[in-house]
Amino acid sequence: MSKYKYHLFICTNRRPVGDSKGCCATKGADDLRSFFKEEIANRGLKGVVRANQAGCLDTCAMGPSVVIYPEGVWYTVKNREDALEVIEKHLLKGEIVERLLMPRSWARG
């Protein structure tokens, strides 16, 4: 059993320029990962929520990709406002952020 209530994996995968699958890194994933970590700490959630970078989650075309466990919920998080909504609704209230969900055909959960 994990010591964390939630574990976020943020894809920071890098592909060659022009790759047809896209690349989460070129869509701002590194900044989003840092932002998630800062906000988690600022809200006193360190030790309860863990945010890690992930290699390829095979959903870069829909990215930046974020998956949250233990539920296995897959989100497209395009900016800091989206990240704040995930933090405020999913991590703090346990609510799924429907508008950011990846289509089931893409999610690998």
| Residue 109: predicted pLDDT | 44
Query: How does residue 1 score in pLDDT terms, banded at 50, 70 and 90?
Result: low
Report field, pTM of the whole predicted structure over 0.85: yes
The CATH homologous superfamily for domain 6-100 is Glutaredoxin (3.40.30.10)
| Residue 3: predicted pLDDT | 87
DSSP label of 52: E
How far, in Å, are 6, 22, 59, 92 from residue 103 at the CA level? 21, 17, 11, 23
Could you read off the pLDDT of 20-52 as tens digits, one per residue?
777 888 888 999 999 999 999 999 999 999 999
- Domain locations in the chain as residue ranges: 6-100
Could you read off the pLDDT of 5-22 as tens digits, one per residue?
999 999 998 887 877 777
